[in-house]
């Protein structure tokens, strides 16, 4: 599970881009107002998922969600 924060206006774009990569991961919006989403991936796809996320970072301006383990979603 990867929890990130991005501008709320690009959540739909981000989800569409991730879903265009078959099997990379599933995006779930945790807090739309704050732009917090999770990306569910498997251990086998984790490296590929991170490569895709890093490639999308300039376009979607995402960042890791600080202290996501302590946040109650």
Q: Does the model's pTM come out above 0.75?
A: yes
Q: pLDDT (tens digit, 9 = 90+) per residue, 44-68? A: 999 999 999 999 999 999 999 876 5
| pLDDT interval class at 22 (50, 70, 90) | confident
| pLDDT interval class at 30 (50, 70, 90) | very high
Give mean pLDDT, residues 25-32: 95
The dihedral through the CA atoms of 19, 2, 56, 12 has a sign that is positive
Helices (H), 1-73: 11-19, 46-60
């Amino acid at each position: 599970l990867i929890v990130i924060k991005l501008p709320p206006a690009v959540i739909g774009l981000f989800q569409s881009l991730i879903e265009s990569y078959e099997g990379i991961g599933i995006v779930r919006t945790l807090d739309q107002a704050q732009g917090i989403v999770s990306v569910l991936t498997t251990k086998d796809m984790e490296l590929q998922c991170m490569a895709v996320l890093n490639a999308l970072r300039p376009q979607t301006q995402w960042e890791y969600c600080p202290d996501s383990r302590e946040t109650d979603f």
